[in-house]
Structure 1
């Protein structure tokens, strides 16, 4: 896994003072709507988004993989050991006329915001906080840059993706690792099965993030996949990869509607 560097406008006592002001300001003026949950958001990286590439979900170049800059890292509580990778959220700034901008954003979870227990009062990703560390371009759509941290409302939404689910095959003839990405619907995967043209369905196990593995030897066989998301829906893609598939190749299957 690539350890990312986190960049926030305003650190230490400055951010803490702003955070306290946000929590105390206008607390009685707005009530969350049904289905929305209160959290906070910061940002990392610059406006180009280079520092948001790769990360703890196993995704790589987010531009090439279709996620672009519309991404977020999740605090430990929301990340759930990588099981929430690929989930989509709608987020809007909340309860601060000074630091909030109008409108909402839609982002995909692609990374992890790690806790830092040495800074219990200055690290917003420590449990039990529900927190979003957005790409800087997404943060600046809903909050003023100088704030560094803003209160937000969020809710889970369906992921709308262009094209089919992508399967990037890695590993070697004795161990296959498949990165599953560009998943629509619920977005976060709970189960993956693989089938060769000479085998029955084989249960894959999560390696990390959205990388799934099997030690079954499948070289020279057509490959099919079943992908199940957190809402219990499953989509089956038959013969996604031809018999002459290659390690490093990316193959496209069906997606959730």
Structure 2
């Protein structure tokens, strides 16, 4: 019994050490107003963040965190650092999704420009800027992955959003009724491009998250799809 207790305590201590090691320092400000409406859109290309599945708990990342759009959709748990500021709300934390690029801090500084409602969860409004600690965490989403198809003729620009798990896209493919799988390339933010002419074909997509999980989304868009349409799925990621 004593050995089991010792093993349990050792495992607990190890977990706590690992958890502590995951926290990184940064700073945080807010933008977008009290209702967060001005945070809609952004450098990830999600447009209306409610329609995209992200809602009001979002943040613009500094260039060091944004990683040229590769971080779009990722989730971060943020706490105000009470050891460095009296403007913090002790014991409070918030999980936000990366939806935009913020120019507040130059590389290599790590900074979150949060929606005002998210920021006021952890800090007092008058502070304006506070020191924080953060860690990347698993994303939880409602519903499946969503694909918005834009472009024209032989240029398809597909915005991939509402990813659970890792939250961000590592690689993407597209397939028409009459084609095999064709790898896409990142254009900007969460927008992936293909130079294939697929009008009039049923579209399928495949995605690998930055966490390494691969899912095929078959027959997502019917043959009569139009540019500008968004297509929902019933599949989502675990990691």
For the aligned pair, the TM-score class normalised by the smaller chain equals 0.7 to 0.9
2:32 is aligned to 45
Please say if 1:98 is aligned against 2:86: yes
1:60-92 per-position Cα deviation (integer Å, ceiling 9, x unaligned): 011222211100000110011111111100001
Residue 85 of structure 2 contacts residue 131 of structure 2 at CA under 8 Å; is this kept in 1? no
Instruction: Name the CA distance, whole Å, in 1 between partners of 2:188 and 2:98.
Output: 14
Instruction: Name the CA distance, whole Å, in 2 between partners of 1:47 and 1:228.
Output: 36
From 121, 140, 148, the equivalent of 1:160 is 140
Instruction: Structure 1 unaligned segments of length 5 or more: list them.
Output: 1-31, 115-122
From 52, 56, 61, the equivalent of 1:74 is 61
**Cα offset, 1:50, TM superposition:** 1.8
1:18 is aligned to none
**Cα offset, 1:173, TM superposition:** 2.4
2:152 is aligned to 172
Segments of 4+ moved more than 6 angstroms: none
**Cα offset, 1:33, TM superposition:** 2.1
Instruction: Structure 2 unaligned segments of length 5 or more: list them.
Output: 1-18
Instruction: Name the CA distance, whole Å, in 1 between partners of 2:157 and 2:86.
Output: 48
1:3 is aligned to none
Instruction: Name the CA distance, whole Å, in 2 between partners of 1:243 and 1:97.
Output: 57
Instruction: Name the CA distance, whole Å, in 1 between partners of 2:86 and 2:170.
Output: 40
- SS for the counterpart of 2:29 is strand
**Cα offset, 1:191, TM superposition:** 0.7
Instruction: Name the CA distance, whole Å, in 1 between partners of 2:52 and 2:117.
Output: 18
Please say if 1:141 is aligned against 2:121: yes
- SS for the counterpart of 2:20 is coil
2:203 is aligned to 223
From 31, 34, 48, the equivalent of 1:61 is 48
Please say if 1:112 is aligned against 2:101: yes
1:15-49 per-position Cα deviation (integer Å, ceiling 9, x unaligned): xxxxxxxxxxxxxxxxx922111111111120111
Q: CA RMSD in A?
A: 1.3
Q: TM-score, normalised by structure 2?
A: 0.87
1:34 is aligned to 21
| Matched residues, number | 217
1:127-185 per-position Cα deviation (integer Å, ceiling 9, x unaligned): 11111110011000000111111111100111100101000111112211111111111
